[in-house]
Structure 1
Amino acid sequence: MPFVTIDGQPLHYIDQGTGPAVLLAGSYLWDQTMWAPQIAALSQQYRVIALDLWGHGESGSLPEGTQSLDDIARQALALLDHLHIDRVTLVGLSVGGMWGVRLALSVPQRINGLVLMDTYVGIEPEPTRQYYFSLFKQIEDSGVISPQLLDIVVPIFFRPGIDPQSALYQDFRAKLAALPPERLRESIVPMGRITFGRDDVLPRLGELDAEATLVMCGDQDKPRPPSETIEMAELIGCPYALVPEAGHISNLENPAFVTEVLLAFLAERN
């Protein structure tokens, strides 16, 4: 498994296929395996890179001094430099889109295309932010995501009609339940506070290349509803797509639809 040391910590990533580069940046609380359907399809024609966020998957702890999504974007750029990738199409879902926008704004010459999925780059609405921060405090204090908290957290990521006995749902729940206390306290909780305490970059969306940008989200995404996707698409001046029968992790709830949209977007950009 390939790793690169960035800011003193090992960042884990996968690098599969050849061709124009695509960087897949996933959701908080998920690792790069969430992209399995897209990696399988896209790597037939493209060089696909997918990274594990700090404290997630096989990556090391959140590096000391990492305080904002701008830091996460800078660290991702260090990965691209390490891989000698000059230009990349970035597909960012949830927090991946939040720091992905910051990367695109800081080094537009490195971005070939940008897909923002199930994400929002405005500030978190205050009631939601306070609610999430209260959950982080509970996790920090106990060192575990309790069954009661799992009942709250896990459904956030899926459409309301999902079968809670499905493998997708149960596997995610089991992964969260198994997170060790030190990882939760040193990486997961601080990363959550960085994510939901983010600053507002909505005013800068007009700087993005509208012709090279697409916004999309699950039509039943609860934490990042379609209204936010439409708002961002209008500010950018780019198209948007709603993923049918999908919640927050839309690429896994409707993988065929998402993969088709991504392949069409990539074909236009390359």
Structure 2
Amino acid sequence: MPFVTLDGQPFHYLDQGQGPVVLLGSSYLWDHTMWAPQIEALSRHYRVIALDLWGHGQSGRLPEGMTSLDDLARQALALMDHLEVDCFSLVGLSVGGMWGARLALMAPKRLEALVLMDTYVGVEPEPTRQYYFSLFDTIQASGSIPEPLLDIVVPIFFRPGIDPQSPLYQQFRATLAALPAERLRDSIVPLGRIIFGRDDILPRLPELNARRTLVMCGDQDKPRPPSEALEMAELIGCPHLLIPEAGHISNLENPEFVTRALLEFLRN
């Protein structure tokens, strides 16, 4: 699995398949393996590049001096430069969409298509921001995600009706429980503060290419509800698709629907 040094730290990514390039941006607290069903299908027709966020998967710690999601967009562009990829499509879920929209605004001529999934590029509503920051304070102090906090954090990512004993749910819970203190304090918590303390780029969404953009959202997404997806799609003037029977990690809760929609959109 390849690495590139960005801002002094090792940045890990998957690079699989051949053809036009599709860059996948993952959710906070998940690594590139969350895209496994889509990577398998897309890499038959495309060259798929999927990133591990700082402190996630096999990527190194958050680089010194990172303050904004613009830094993530710039780093993703630096990876594309390193790989000598000029033009590509971008599919970003959650924070992947937050920095993905910024990348599209930074380098519009390099984007062939943009899919924003279960994401929102406006500011975090103040009560939610304060709530998440209080969770970060608890994690920072304890150097772990304690059991009671896991009971709060894990369900956020899934539709309300999911079986808590399902492998998807249990595997994610176990991954969070196993995160070492150093990684939480050096990368996960400060990156979370950057994500949930982000600035508002909603006013810039009309600058995006509406014909080449698609907004998708799980119909039962709690942290990024469908109303936010609709708001963004209307500002862009692009199509808007609800993913049935899915929460925040919609690509894993309804992988067949998402994969089919992505293949159709990228083909067109």
TM-score of the pair, normalised by structure 2: 1.00
The aligned residue for residue 168 of structure 1 is: 168
Match in the other structure for 1:254 = 254
Question: Hey, what does 1:199 align to over in structure 2?
Answer: 199
Cα offset, 1:227, TM superposition: 0.2
Alignment-mate amino acid for residue 146 of structure 1: P
Identity of aligned residues (%): 77
Structure 1 position 90 matched with structure 2 position 90: yes
CA RMSD of aligned residues (A): 0.3
SS class of match (1:151): helix
Task: State the AA in 1 paired with 2:194.
Answer: I
Q: State how far apart, in whole Å, the 1-side matches of 2:265 and 2:65 are.
A: 36
What secondary structure sits across from 2:49 in the alignment?
Answer: strand
Q: Deviations over 1:211-236 (max 9, x none)?
A: 00000010000000000000000000
1:22 aligns with 2:22: yes
- Partners in 2 of 1:247 and 1:59 — Cα distance? 26
Q: Does 1:66 align with 2:72?
A: no
- SS in structure 1 opposite 2:59? coil
Aligned residue in 2 for 1:187: 187
Name the aligned partner's letter for residue 138 of structure 2.
Q
Paired AA for residue 111 in structure 1: L
Match for 1:10: what amino acid?
P
**Distance in 1 between the 2:248 and 2:85 partners?**
29
| d(CA) in 2 for partners of 1:76, 1:216 | 22
The answer for the alignment partner of 2:220 in structure 1 is: 220
Give, in whole Å, the separation in 2 of the partners of 1:53 and 1:133: 19
Whole-angstrom CA distance in 1 between matches of 2:84 and 2:172? 33
- Match of 2:14, SS? strand
Where in structure 2 are there 5+ consecutive unaligned residues? Answer: none
Q: CA deviation at 1:254?
A: 0.1
Work out the number of aligned pairs and report it: 268
- The amino acid across from 1:117 in the alignment is M
In the other structure, the counterpart of 2:114 is 114
- Which runs of at least 4 in structure 1 moved beyond 4 Å after TM superposition? none
| Partner of residue 46, structure 2 | 46
SS in 1 for 2:35: helix
Q: Determine the C-alpha separation between the residues in 2 that align with 1:66 and 1:47.
A: 29
Cα deviation 1:38-78 (Å, max 9, x = unaligned): 00000000000000000000000000111100011101101
The amino acid of 1:130's aligned partner reads Q
Secondary structure at the aligned position of 1:221 is classed as coil
CA distance in 2, matches of 1:259, 1:106: 27
Counterpart amino acid of 1:242? Answer: L
Show the 5 A alignment for 1:80-159.
Answer: 80-159=80-159
